[in-house]
Amino acid sequence: MGLRYEERLSDSPFIERIWHTQSGRGFWVNSTAISHWFMALWTQEGITRIAVHGPKSCPIVAPVPEDADFIGIVFKHGAVMPHLLASQLVDNEVELPAAGTQESFWLNSRAWQFPTFDNADTFVNQLMREDTLISEPVVKAALSGQQPELSSRSLQRHILRATGLTYNNIYQIERARQASLLLQAGMSILDTVYQLGYADQPHLTRSLRQLIGLTPAQLTAPRISEQLSFLFKTNTFADAMLSYEKA
């Protein structure tokens, strides 16, 4: 049995998506590339732990803790923790220390209650009020199809510092994720190539292997979606494509 994700959106300008899942025994998952950073907490045998994960520039196949309950908060581009930048965590994560009880943890020199799937929005609002989480409006604007009044080089520096990735990295990751979703929804390989602007089918195949870890044919196999983590639709690709074409 694979992982079945429960997901929801949020009214918070900082949150891209909130997800929840549970694991069984002896399961491995393919974590696809993702251009967003996120927080994930898991409860196993009554003990809860939490970690901040940076963007993933490539897929990783890893074992899943057995019989555990997981919650994830995926943050929008432009949401930044000044003391723990995503640029310092690309392809890595930092587990946050427990605060002496089974219900709290340390972050930015203060104790916080573990969030739940239902109150994650409130938790993020608290981070914002304490300035533990801030917004980078230039990055948010650039990745939503707008053109900030900055030189191209200065804008790239802002994006790299806030996200850990270049604009082109983000674009390629989001395009590969969108291609995967279209293929799983039944779109043909050739139509996917055309719709998303790949040069040809081999170009699409190389991109998916590098960023998703599977070929187009493998992505359409039965139940493959249950073995993929972080593969959900975002607005990033459409917005990034618009600004990419303007550049």
Low-confidence ranges of the chain (pLDDT < 70): 1-3, 26, 222-247
Assess if residue 213 is contained within a domain. yes
**What local confidence, expressed as pLDDT, does residue 223 receive?**
62
Is there a single domain that holds both residue 114 and residue 32? Answer: yes
CATH number at residue 232: 1.10.10
Give the pLDDT confidence of 140-149 residue by residue, as tens digits: 888 877 777 7
**Residue ranges making up the domain that contains 30:** 6-135
Label the pairing between strands 28-31 and 60-63.
antiparallel
CB environment 97-130: b (16+ within 10 A), e (fewer): ebbeeeebbebeeeebebbebeebbebbeebbee
What pLDDT does residue 233 have?
A: 61
Answer yes or no: is 69 within a domain: yes
Nearest to 56, CA basis, from 141, 150, 135, 172: 172
Among 135, 158, 181, give the residue marking a domain's end.
135
- Looking at residue 188, its pLDDT comes to 94
Q: How many separate domains does the chain show?
A: 2
- Is 105 among the domain residues? yes
User: What kind and span of H or E run contains 14?
Assistant: none
pLDDT of residue 229: 63
Measured distance CA(130)–CA(127) in Å, rounded: 5
Same domain membership, residue 125 and residue 11: yes
Q: Is the pTM of this model over 0.85?
A: yes
Same domain? For 130 and 87 the reply is: yes
pLDDT one-digit tens code per residue, 67-122: 889 999 999 999 999 999 888 899 999 999 999 777 899 999 999 999 999 999 99
Tally of CA atoms within 13 A in the half-sphere of 214 that contains its CB: 23
In a domain, 147, yes or no: no
115 shares its domain with 22: yes
Domain identity same for 16 and 106:
yes
- In this structure, the answer to whether residues 32 and 113 fall within a common structural domain is yes
Tell whether 172 and 109 lie within a shared domain: no
**Is 128 within 8 Å of 134 (Cβ atoms)?**
yes
CA distance 15 to 107: 18
Domain membership of residue 171 (yes or no) is: yes
* Alpha-carbon distances, residue 19 vs 117, 148, 173, 244 (angstroms): 7, 32, 20, 29
Question: Do 175 and 115 share a structural domain?
Answer: no
19 and 60 part of one domain: yes
User: Taking a C-beta distance cutoff of 8 angstroms, is the pair 62, 28 a contact?
Assistant: yes
